[in-house]
Amino acid sequence: MGLPLPESCCRGTQLLAFRAAAIEKWGDLGWKETCALLGDEARDALLRPVRPVEWVPERHMVSLADAVFTGPAAKSEQTYREFVRHQIDYGFGRVRRMLLHLMPPEIVLSRAPDLWRHDHTHGELVVDVASDKKRAHVRLVDHVHATYEVGWITSAEMFRYVLALTRAKHVTSAHRSGGDRILEIDLEWQ
């Protein structure tokens, strides 16, 4: 990965998936509404051609998530979670969908920390799968998503939906702050 970046970043694939999901769900007008809610710095950083392997500062992605939640999602958690599922479909899910259908959830969860490190420069993901292989506890430590409510919703729905793409059925998630810059997510499935 080279020298560590001075600030938390994610792969450009996440921005591209974000944009595609917003346009699919709300059309060009919804995307324009989202962009209008961005500050100048975030707008300049995000509304330009971005390569999938490029690093994008997470602080701008936070602004984008807040703009979607406040704007076209109208502060509806249900609507925003639906948007996150579209984002996964365009990003992570598109590339790995076939593999996900073939893998049991505990294998996907065991690979989650490595997948996190591939797509994010900062933060640590710790996953503990229960011995019954029907529950898991996920901790996101020292990452911006663990510091604000929309980040909590994003992360919890992301993990829940990715597990739902595996052989797991009836996947649920619950999330809470685990303290300073720690997000706790509990997952259950059948």
**pLDDT-derived band at 93, boundaries 50, 70, 90:** low
22, burial (CB in 10 Å: exposed 0-12, middle 13-18, buried 19+): buried
pLDDT at residue 8 is higher than 70:
yes
Mean pLDDT to the nearest integer, 163-184: 95
In terms of C-beta density within 10 A (0-12 exposed, 13-18 middle, 19 or more buried), how is residue 79 classed?
Answer: middle
* Structure token digits, residue 50: 């971005």
- Among 17-21, 55-59, 96-100, which stretch is predicted with the lowest mean pLDDT? 96-100
pTM of the full predicted structure?
Answer: 0.92
Residue 3 scores a pLDDT above 60: no
Residue showing tokens 């997952």: 187
**CA–CA dist 155, 119 (Å, integer):** 14
